[in-house]
């Protein structure tokens, strides 16, 4: 990823953190993944935004790609689990089990994941599948 692509990613991420809505940012992240298709973090962000915008089938494709690029990232696995649940697809348990193992080995991940769940529920209150996964992970 060159300097301009990295700055576009950072800028879009900062806008999200500052409160920009998911639908405002999807196009930016689609551009980022089209120019840097091996950017697992951008695919993870795109899948999260698509989930927030009630586009689970698109999120499923993006999250699968994010996990393919970086199968060790718990957030991409959570996004994939959400998309699988929301599209009534199979395979959720393997990803949840992976995240549970990652939390056991790296307990410092818990704070980051809790913040992600809080953000998701703030932006999409009563997000049933997110609440379900949060409960499965005991977060």
Confidence at 8, pLDDT banded by 50, 70, 90: confident
Averaged pLDDT, 22-39: 95
Cα dist. 114→55, 78, 101, 120 in Å? 23, 12, 16, 10
pLDDT of 4 above 80: no
Supply φ then ψ for residue 87, to 5 degrees. -110, 10
The token pair at 117 is: 């769940």
pLDDT at 3: 52
| CATH, residue 44 | 1.25.40.10
Alpha helices in 18-108 (DSSP H): 22-35, 40-52, 56-69, 74-86, 92-105
Contact of 69 with 33, CB cutoff 8 Å: no
Provide the domain count of the chain. 1
Confidence at 2, pLDDT banded by 50, 70, 90: low
Q: Distance between CA 116 and CA 118 in Å, rounded? A: 5
Domain ranges, residue 43: 3-136
Q: Distance between CA 77 and CA 119 in Å, rounded? A: 17
Q: Distance between CA 130 and CA 78 in Å, rounded? A: 9
Sign of the alpha-carbon dihedral angle for 97, 71, 9, 106 = positive
Percent of the chain with pLDDT over 90: 93
């Amino acid at each position: 990823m060159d300097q301009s692509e990295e700055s576009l990613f950072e800028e879009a991420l900062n806008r999200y953190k500052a409160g920009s809505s998911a639908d405002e940012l999807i196009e930016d992240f689609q551009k980022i993944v089209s120019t840097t298709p091996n950017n697992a973090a951008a695919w993870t962000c795109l899948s999260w935004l698509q989930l927030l915008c009630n586009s689970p089938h698109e999120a499923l494709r993006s999250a699968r790609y994010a996990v393919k690029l970086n199968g060790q990232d718990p957030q991409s696995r959570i996004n994939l689990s959400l998309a699988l649940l929301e599209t009534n697809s199979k395979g959720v348990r393997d990803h949840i089990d992976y995240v549970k193992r990652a939390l056991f080995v790296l307990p410092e991940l818990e704070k980051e994941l809790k913040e992600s769940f809080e953000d998701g529920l703030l932006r999409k209150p009563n997000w049933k599948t997110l609440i379900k996964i949060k409960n499965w992970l005991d977060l």
